[in-house]
Chain A
């Protein structure tokens, strides 16, 4: 069975600090997708990134960057120069493709609450 672990329950930083959110996953599949979602206090889920298991290139999008290390089964998320608006719960998720049936479901970690204070 697949599993996603976000060991950090809550992180508090001061504005402009860099912060890294950890995500470790377990899966027996060779083909899978990894995701990060943001859940602000309003409650909706905001999609941030999807990464294919075959693509280990790191990705940068503005102040956000992701480090995918297949050797350690980790997909960490870094926010550079954090801002108050970054305060939210961040979820890492794993999608396992069911090759025979063709569908997949997402397994989520428990989330990391990030609090950025001014």
Chain B
């Protein structure tokens, strides 16, 4: 039973480019959470999605960041026009429909903006 998968594991972008981070939840999980870990900080909640719906995006920066979780395929966290301050580790977690208090984390994507 594969765990939460994230790709790419490492992503390098130049300022102004777009970054797309993918998260495939565990099989049977329909809830996805994205967290960001800035250097030497703890993880901070960004957004919570169910299939085709954004439920809570209270932690998302207001501009340049968006997330989706389509009916088919992985969840995508998209960062447009990246800046150096976006350099961080982005973690995705998934949870089963009936146990929302359990979140299983992926290995993270480390984004470096040059």
User: Chain A: residues with CB nearer than 8 A to chain B?
Assistant: 4, 6, 33, 37, 43-45, 47, 50, 91, 93, 95, 97, 101-111
Asked whether B100 lies within 8 Å of A104 as measured between CB atoms, the reply is yes
Pick the contact of B48: A105, A107, A108, A111 (CB < 8 A): A105
> Across the interface, which residues of A come within 8 angstroms of B56, CB to CB?
103, 105
Asked whether A106 lies within 8 Å of B107 as measured between CB atoms, the reply is no
Pick the contact of B35: A50, A95, A106 (CB < 8 A): A106
B91 to chain A, nearest CB (A): 7
> Across the interface, which residues of A come within 8 angstroms of B89, CB to CB?
43
> Across the interface, which residues of B come within 8 angstroms of A101, CB to CB?
55
Which residue of chain A lies nearest to B110 when distances are taken between CB atoms in the complex?
Answer: A43
Given contacts A91-B43, A103-B100, A110-B42, contact A45 B105 (CB under 8 A): yes
Asked whether A108 lies within 8 Å of B43 as measured between CB atoms, the reply is yes
> Across the interface, which residues of B come within 8 angstroms of A95, CB to CB?
101, 103
Pick the contact of B45: A43, A47, A107, A109 (CB < 8 A): A107
User: Chain B: residues with CB nearer than 8 A to chain A?
Assistant: 31, 33, 35, 40-45, 48, 55-56, 59, 89, 91, 93, 100-105, 107-108, 110
> Across the interface, which residues of B come within 8 angstroms of A109, CB to CB?
42
A43 vs B91: C-alpha distance when bound (angstroms):
10
Which residue of chain A lies nearest to B109 when distances are taken between CB atoms in the complex?
Answer: A43
A104 vs B33: C-alpha distance when bound (angstroms):
10
Given contacts A103-B55, A103-B56, A103-B100, contact A44 B107 (CB under 8 A): yes
> Across the interface, which residues of A come within 8 angstroms of B35, CB to CB?
106, 108
A103 vs B93: C-alpha distance when bound (angstroms):
13
A106 to chain B, nearest CB (A): 6
A8 to chain B, nearest CB (A): 13
